[in-house]
Structure 1
């Protein structure tokens, strides 16, 4: 983002951030109108460092400025906890949301350049619990508070996935309410779990030309129209054309219902409007839904998304977007280096070489080298 920062591995990591677009947004929103020291750009750099290093508090961020390289990167020698807290609650989350989407756009350009056709997009949500005493605005049960991250994840391959769209709400928001927001691309295949089951929406998706695979609840009523044979030695037990729902609340369209045995011997009922795929292909598509579970697990373990630096809604949203931005920066360096190394190793190497020349970090990406 600037000549001082770019000499370091940290500078290389944040290179994809488009300073021009970011500064234009800051100027338009007058975000830094009365700011002399902690500009929005400096705030983003420091918060991304906090995500990378796993800082526990604003005090720890303040103390980190003892490092002269960080001082050069930010343009000042010290900052107080109160200034950090104020900025964290003042920065408009829309700026960070836009930054996240800009990075997603860069990933997508590389993704489609590699010849990927119909992308697989997985939809799910994760609830981040909060202390009700400090976060009354996020109350969703008598004794609990929390926010929910609704996410659309693009599955590229077993080594690479990336978040494409995010919606942050309080935890009381039902998943089904976000489905239409997260489904907006007719050139994609969507996968989501039974928490999103809605017969009326299934009909609309069918009529509007959106393709999906989901899981039906065990007690769902079905009426069989036609049954097909399934391959021998397949995990697919049955393949049928059905209407879903009771007489009073039934789909208008016919869907495909497959019963599949998972690795634990459980029977899953999968519903889809893809009639052209082999039964095992549908089963495999749904199996990839597990990638979003792993993604949420990665976020909670390796970036700061469980412990928050502020108590206001703005501060919470900003920290979640910064976590997603940090993840995207890791994916972009992985794609740039054409590396098969896991993001965990990429992040560890970066932390070890943070303020050293970028080439020290970059040479670790040689695919012939073992971690």
Structure 2
């Protein structure tokens, strides 16, 4: 099962007050339609070549635009609850990056008064916290390196890694005030997560 399928399963646990943020590996007509159908809002980064609408928007130099998307010409529709003429209305938002590159976001939040375009760059940046957490899980906690092959072993290793991560986060948060007091204008101190995970794995059983 791929990331898109897993993400769509998560929609069962979301509600209309949520805003789901996705990187550019997720967007498609069907993916966005399922969010619209369940009344769940989204903010997604798309490739500048995502569709002709997106290409035209990039070339227009506009900061934002509301457009309608339709299924692709070669999309199989026989098992879908929509037709080739079913529109999805979204806002396109242009984000200028420091390196003179352009990032295109699409969102179901259409009200420009309640959600001005200036909000979306900061909103999308919130996803970066998730990406850095994936990096910690994979490269620091080695969550994909299992000690066995059985379903039970894999689940035990997975949840043990999450437990270590949660305990490390709690301890690091407790130390924030103390670390900030010792920081200077020249040096901003922070917890070394690599070392803290290593020490924690050794001492964790003694804690309990």
Give the Å deviation of 1:277: 1.4
Match of 1:354 among 200, 203, 208: 203
Compute the displacement of 1:305 (Å).
1.8
For 1:58-137, list aligned pairs within 5 A: none
**Closer, same or farther: CA 239–250 of 1 in aligned 2, 3 Å:** farther
Aligned CA distance change for structure 1 residues 325 and 291 (closer, same or farther; 3 Å): same
Match of 2:67 among 242, 247, 251: 242
**Cα RMSD (Å):** 3.4
- TM-score scaled by structure 2? 0.67
How big is the shift at 1:251?
A: 5.5
Structure number with larger C-alpha Rg: 1
Deviations 1:173-205 (Å, cap 9, x if unpaired)? 222111222232222221111222131331232
**TM-score using structure 1 length:** 0.40
Question: Which runs of 5 or more residues in structure 1 are unaligned?
Answer: 1-172, 228-235, 359-371
User: Aligned residue for 1:288?
Assistant: 126
- After superposition, the C-alpha distances for 1:115-148 in whole angstroms (9 at most, x for unaligned) are xxxxxxxxxxxxxxxxxxxxxxxxxxxxxxxxxx
Alignment counterpart, residue 141 of structure 2, candidates 283, 292, 303: 303
Identify unmatched segments of 5+ residues in structure 2.
74-83, 180-189
Equivalent position SS for 2:87: coil
**Cα 1:271–1:306, aligned 2, differ >3 Å: closer, same or farther?**
same
Q: Which has the higher contact order (CA 8 A, sep 6+)?
A: 1
> 1:295 Cα deviation (Å)?
0.8
Distance change in 2, residues 1:253/1:329 (3 Å): same
CA distance in 2, matches of 1:317, 1:182: 19
Q: CA 1:278–1:338 in 2, change beyond 3 Å: closer, same or farther?
A: farther
Report the Cα distance in structure 2 between the residues aligned to 1:250 and 1:201, rounded to whole angstroms. Answer: 17
